[in-house]
Amino acid sequence: MSDSEILHLALRPRSYDIHVGGGLLDQAGALAAPLLKSPGAIIISDQNVAPLYLQRLCDSLTGAGIECPSIVIPAGEQTKDFHHFEELLNTLLDMNIERSTTLIALGGGVIGDLTGFAASVILRGVDYIQVPTTLLAQVDSAVGGKTGIDTAHGKNLVGAFYQPRLVIADLDTLDTLPAGELRAGYAETIKYGLINDAEFFAWLEGAGAALLDGDADARRRAVVHSCRAKAEIVAEDEREGGRRALLNLGHTFGHALEAQAGFSGALLHGEAVAIGCVMAFELSARLGLCPAEDAARIRTHYSAIGLPTSPPAIDGVAWDADQLLDHMAADKKVEDGAITFILARAIGAAFIAKDIDPGDVRAVLAGSV
């Protein structure tokens, strides 16, 4: 474990460590064992990740004296729904899960969200551990305790704030990640620079291509920096009553795009966030809040890295500004009927904005779709 870094998310009784480094799957048993209430854990993974890493993780756990039966579910965002969630809960109950059992999420954001939500409700709450295998999950969704599922009304509208006991981010798992998924995770990485760290964004402008091409040092720096940034925000505002809302930069637009696309693999979450960040800065520039040059700079970097900056053509999907606004109106961050946006005064200077004229939002949407 000498090449790993350990970050700490301080939440008093709910505090936990985040381990980032190479080869950590082989150390998972030793890392998890001291935290378990009983020598038993159930691994939940998907059909893409399980063939690659399930046996390796289980070998590490059994080597530490931990029994590790597993559940493998279909991959993809469409698995994050009531039907699959109910199936998961019933499977866990069929396995005679006990309150001392720990769940282990091995996979990307979908697996982490489903497993965390299941842990929060089954038997009124059991422990869980995050073992994220995608860049998006390592820099964002595995840290902070947001869990949930999608519904016909929108993304992540049913869920809970429920913290894991431990996060193990093995950077080696990124080597098998498809290029599109890697870029989608990079979109969430960029977000931390756009929110409050212009220097980090500037570093990414120079190092982003190397990161995506497999540069181990760049990946380590990006994941550690992102986890540290998120941990600091969550420690201050666990349940998103204030500053944590800044982490939603690009998501109000992005979630609407995902909903319009039917939560299909045709538009990945990170791709939707990339488009949403571009739209957020273009709205900020339109309102005279930030320089147009900053919005252009962001668009240029996303394009250079291979991320979309406007909604792509998808068979059967019509990008309509009014329909996207309707999706936004159903967002969980709506207050008193008003959509909450994260806008910016500059790169690295994001802020929470309310009472934005829907006409300005529609104009930005219409200009992109």
Q: Read off the pLDDT of residues 2-48 as tens digits, 9 standing for 90 and up.
A: 479 999 999 999 999 999 999 999 999 999 999 999 999 999 999 99
Q: Read off the pLDDT of residues 160-199 as tens digits, 9 standing for 90 and up.
A: 999 999 999 999 999 999 999 999 999 999 999 999 999 9
**If you classify domain 5-176 with CATH, what class do you get?**
alpha beta
Residue 1 in this model has a pLDDT that exceeds 80: no
For 152, the token pair is 């016909």
Question: In whole numbers, what is the pLDDT of the chain averaged over residues?
Answer: 96
Q: What is the pLDDT of residue 2?
A: 45
pLDDT interval class at 257 (50, 70, 90): very high
For 272, the token pair is 């939707």
Q: Which fold has domain 179-368?
A: Dehydroquinate synthase-like, alpha domain (1.20.1090)
CB atoms within 10 A of CB 65: 10
> Where along the chain do its domains lie?
5-176, 179-368
| pTM, full prediction | 0.95
Residue 268 in this model has a pLDDT that exceeds 50: yes
| Rounded Cα distance, 33 and 40, in Å | 9
Residue 70 in this model has a pLDDT that exceeds 80: yes
Q: Read off the pLDDT of residues 311-352 as tens digits, 9 standing for 90 and up.
A: 999 999 999 999 999 999 888 778 888 899 999 999 999 999
Q: What is the pLDDT of residue 292?
A: 97
| Residues carrying an active site annotation | 124, 146, 188, 230, 240, 244, 248, 251, 255, 269
Long-range contacts of 6-14 (CB under 8 A, 24+ apart): 7/224, 7/227, 7/228, 7/231, 8/231, 9/143, 9/144, 9/163, 9/231, 9/234, 9/235, 10/231, 10/235, 11/163, 11/234, 11/235, 11/238, 14/145, 14/163, 14/238
Percent of the chain with pLDDT over 90: 94
Q: What is the pLDDT of residue 369?
A: 81
Q: Average pLDDT in the 108-115 region?
A: 98
- Position 203, amino acid: W
